[in-house]
Every structure is written in structure tokens, then in C-alpha cells.
Structure 1
Amino acid sequence: MPTALVTGATSGLGAEFARQLAGRGHDLVLVARTEERLHSTQQELARSVDVEVLPADLTTDDGCAAVATRIERGDIDLLVNNAGIGTYQPFGVATLEHEEQQLDLNVRAVLRLSHAAVQAMQSRGSGRILNVSSVAGFIPRGRNATYAASKAWVTAFSEAVSVMLRGTGVTITAVCPGFTHTEFHDRAAADMSDVPERMWLDAVDVVREGLDDTFAGKPISVPSRRYKTLSGVARTMPRPLLRAIMARRAL
């Protein structure tokens, strides 16, 4: 059976990636900070597939090194870089420590684990990497500038590496969802009451479409028709106009 390693695997999109990959017949390596929740998720999924747990804090050098070492064993068929954090505070209001943690987890950990995976997968000529990004990376979001910038990096990085990997048997995909019902915004203490219900996506649908696009080898996946349209408009709109629009919105 193929094996998938999922970071941030005990909640939100990560837990849904683990469930759907188990349903697709993948053995799992689950990574998260909280060992108790890892074992709970392991018990839930181990009825149908083999599930290994690896407690690690990916904001630290030791945590990244432990997971990279596991990837370097060469038996991971799919790496899901899902772990991430955000803040809904203006830059300069959120603490510098929090801003740096975002970059450590959203950028540095993705870089390090992708590097380990590319080396291991290219050596055997097969494998897939799925990096969870966001449509926030396509727009200048003043309320969470560092988060948006980190996701812009994830998308640009994934697309560039996909060009490099062409013809190697290894693919990389940035999955860029919009607002999705998970624990993410609660953890960020974000007031999302101003977001219309029509803009919210279901985690099950996001993960299913993201996995389908990953297995199809697409470099960028934007789940749902509405966000495909919105992200397309954002990417083609003149930047001065886009900045003016975003300056009028509390996003």
C-alpha cells in the first residue's frame, strides 16, 4: 500500500486529509505537536490502514529535522504539508514572535520537508507533494499580511518546483482553498462574522478536490468554482485596482 505523511494531522484539513487518504488505501504517518491527539487519531484510522505517529513541533529545528529524517527513509509516496497558522491582527499589533512563528511553520517547514521529499522521491522516480496554500496568497490582505505573504510563497514555490520536476515522475501541487469550515479561524481568535455563508467551503470538498488535482499532477489547485473564478480575477486585475478594493475591506 502507498504511504502518505500528513502534517498538522489531528484537526481541520489535516485530519480530513488523513481520513480521505485512509479511505483511498494509503498507510499513514501522522505528524502533529500534541501526542495525545495523535494517538486518538491513530486509533480512529488504524482499523483500515497502518498508522504511524510522529510528534513534532515544526516551528522548531528539532521538529523539522525529525520529520525530514522520516521522509528520507524513502517510503513516503505522498507528503501533505498541511500544518500552518495565521493571525488576524494588523502587522505591528501582533507580536513579532507570532509573526516569526507563522514564517517558521508556513514557509520554513514547507521548504525543509519538501526538500527532503524531492530528494527521496527523485531517487526512486516517483512521488507527490501537496502543499496547502490559500487564495489569500493571491491578494494583499491587510488584516493578516504575513499569513497572506507566506501563502503567496507556498504557491509560487510549488509552481516553480513543479516546472523543475517535469518528467521526473515526481509532482508538487499547491492547494489553495478559500474560507473553509475548520478550527483554523477559532485558533486565530478571528471574528469571521462578516464573511457571507456563501463564501464558506466544506473541508470534505476541499480535501477531495485537492487530492484529485494532486493525483492528476496539477501544479495549482483552487477548490470550488467560486474561488477559481475569484482567484482568476484577482490574478488578472491591475494591482492598483486590487489594492484599492482591499483597502476598503476588513480582510
Structure 2
Amino acid sequence: MPTALITGATAGIGAAFARRLAADGFSLVLVARDEKRLTTAASELHRRYGVAAEVLAADLATGEGITTVEERLREGVDLLVNNAGFGHSGADLDVPVTDELTMLRVHCEAVLRLTMAALPAIRARGRGGVINVASVGAFFPQGTYSASKAWVVTFSESLALRIPEPRVRVMALCPGFVRTEFHERAAIDTSGIPGFLWLSADRLVGSAMRDFARGVPVSVPDPRYKVIAAIARYVPRGVVTRVSAGIGR
């Protein structure tokens, strides 16, 4: 039975990945900060799908937390989903530098270290891979959040191009607005976001898994956001900057 390790596994996109992979017959290693919530999630997944669900409480904003997950990954998994992340509610220039550094640790350092811890065993088996959850925001200049997610996209694309094993894949997943706890936890006002831009986490994950199976290096799993991402990536940068400035205001 294959094993998947998922960070940020108790809510939102991470929980949707846990449900999908459990339904596909994966044993799970669930990673998050809240051990009680992890235990509840693991019990529910085992009851519903009959799979083993291991609990690993770790805070990826700390070096100790990252090391704990690295050690588990070196024991071997078939799929790593780097999903843990967060947003800021304040304007870019008002966010404390310490908070920005924490974001870079979770979004970049943890993704780098966990990916590199997982890949040797995956490559040795010749199958499996890594899904790094980024964002459509990676294509727009919107502060440290979008910059960190742009790094995730470039890092994932680079690995995908260089891994020689044909059945070992690395993919950046770039969702748009998804109905999860993400914005509420960050105290971000979403009242101005049109209803048609919101995505279902379960449908998002289904599309992501299809792209992963096809070897797509950067998955933008919705036609609406494919158009938005294409515009951001291929129109003149000055236009994208002006649009982002308007969004920021």
C-alpha cells in the first residue's frame, strides 16, 4: 500500500488531499501543529476509508518541526504533499519582518527541505513524487505571499525538468480562491471576491491528481484560473504590475 505525507492536513486543501488519497488506498501521514485535531482527522479517515493514518504533530515555522518531518520522510513515502501555508491580513509594508520571515520559512525553507528529504527514496523506487501547493497569486506581484509562491513554482518546475526517472514527478499546484479556513484564519476580508471565482477543495484536488498523473509540472486546475494565469504569465509585465497595484488598493 503506498504512503502519502500531507502537511497542513487537517483543513482545506490538505484535508481534501487526505480524503482523496485515502479513497485511492494510500496510507497517510498527517502533519499539522494541532495534535488533537490531527488525531480526530486520522480517526475519521480510518473509520471512513479503512486506511492507516499516522499522526505527526510539527510546527513548520520552526527548525525543530521541519527536522521532525524530514526524519519521517527519510523513512520513505510514495507521495509528499507540501500544503502547509498561511496569509497575512495587513498591507505589505505594515507586516512585521519577523512575520514575513516566518512565512518564508513555511512556504520556502520547509518546502525545499521536505522535498529534498522525500525524493531520494522516491527516486530509488522509481515512482511517486511531490506536489507543492503554490497559488495563482504566484503570477502577480502581491507581497511576500506571492513572492514565496512564485519561488515554489520555479523550484518545482526546475526539479520536474531535471529528475530523470520518468515515473517520478514534481508538480506545483496553483489554485485560486478556495472555500477553506485560509482567509478566515488570516483575517482577510473576502466580501469583494465574486462568487464565481470560488473553487471547491475536493474538485480542485481531483483535477490536481489528474494533472499529476499526466506529468504536468505546473497545475492550474480550473479554466477560469488558467485564463488568469495565462494573462499574468504572457502579457507585458507592466500591465500585470498595474493590475496587481489596483488589486492591492
Q: Which residue of 2 aligns with 1:220?
A: 218
Q: TM-score, normalised by structure 2?
A: 0.96
SS at match of 1:163: helix
Q: Which residue of 2 aligns with 1:199?
A: 197
SS at match of 2:93: coil
Deviation of residue 152 (structure 1)?
0.2
Match of 2:74 among 72, 75, 97: 72
CA contact (8 A) 2:126 2:165 kept: no
AA in 2 matched with 1:119? P
1:121 aligns with 2:122: yes
Q: Which residue of 2 aligns with 1:14?
A: 14
CA contact (8 A) 1:174 1:220 kept: yes
Q: Which residue of 2 aligns with 1:83?
A: 84
Deviation of residue 59 (structure 1)?
1.0
SS at match of 2:129: strand
Residue identity (%) = 47
Q: TM-score, normalised by structure 1?
A: 0.95
Matches within 5 A, 1:170-209: 170-209=168-207
Aligned partners of 2:51 and 2:214: how far apart in 1? 23
Cα deviation, 1:13-37, whole Å, max 9, x if unaligned, reads: 1111101110111110000100000
Match of 2:60 among 44, 58, 61: 58
Give unmatched runs, 5+ long, in structure 1: none
AA in 1 matched with 2:27? D
Deviant stretches of 4+, over 4 Å: none
SS at match of 2:122: helix
Q: Which residue of 1 aligns with 2:162?
A: 164
Deviation of residue 200 (structure 1)?
0.9
Cα deviation, 1:151-189, whole Å, max 9, x if unaligned, reads: 000001000000111335311010100011100000110
Pairs aligned (count) = 247
**CA RMSD after TM alignment:** 1.2
Aligned partners of 1:89 and 1:51: how far apart in 2? 36
Aligned partners of 1:126 and 1:23: how far apart in 2? 19
AA in 2 matched with 1:171? R
SS at match of 1:53: strand
Give unmatched runs, 5+ long, in structure 2: none
